[in-house]
Amino acid sequence: MPLARPNYVIALAFAVAATALAGCTTYRPAPKAFHEATIQPYRLDSGDRLRINVFEQPGLSNTYTVDQAGYVSFPLIGRVAARGQTLTALEGAIAAKLRQGYLRDPDVTIEVDRYRPVFVMGEVGRPGQYSYVPGMTAQNAIAIAGGFTPRGNQQDVDVTRKINGEIITGRTAISSPVLAGDTIYIRERLF
């Protein structure tokens, strides 16, 4: 005689299966701040390499890298906070420090020589770290990383981005712009 299973065991099994299936299909769209970050002025962070020119000061004009702590080490004035700054704000900060006993009226200009990389993970041919180019989209980054694998979800991607010091992940279309420092994750498609 077979053992009868109580209804609650069967109900529990269905609940677990439904929860597991729901976990596979959860959709978390990118928040509004996520998209707004792509149209804001560029914010510096660790890994950015900057070309800093001080007019008529060849000894100060050079290429400098934002270090892991978020600072640029600059001759005469030492470390200057760069993380989270725009290029214009950093120009002003360096000029202000140079005015404090070093130069009368410094004219500082900064350009990004090399942006921090983007990272492409998941179902792509060659996951890894790749150079960022202004105007890059998730689709461009995926192409550079060897394109989708046969199992790759080609509808949308998960992008992780630092916004105002907070790390946020959101799901976006593959045609969405990406920023330097973003991590792009291509999920496996279900069917």
pLDDT digits (tens, 9 = 90+) for 65-111: 999 999 999 999 999 999 999 999 999 999 999 999 899 999 999 99
The CATH 3.30.1950.10 portion of the chain extends over 49-114
Q: Are 118 and 180 a contacting pair, CB within 8 Å?
A: yes
Homologous superfamily, domain 49-114: wza like domain (3.30.1950.10)
Token pair listed for 34: 């996520």
pLDDT digits (tens, 9 = 90+) for 59-70: 999 999 999 999
Q: Is the sign of the CA dihedral 18, 19, 24, 29 positive or negative?
A: positive
Token pair listed for 27: 């959709």
Mention the CATH class of domain 27-40+116-186.
alpha beta
Tell me the one-letter amino acid at 58.
P
The CATH 3.10.560.10 portion of the chain extends over 27-40+116-186
Is the pLDDT score of 11 beyond 50?
A: no
Of 26 and 189, more confident: 189
For 189, counting Cβ atoms within 10 Å of its Cβ (0-12 exposed, 13-18 middle, 19+ buried), the class is middle
Q: How many CB atoms lie within 10 A of CB 152?
A: 18
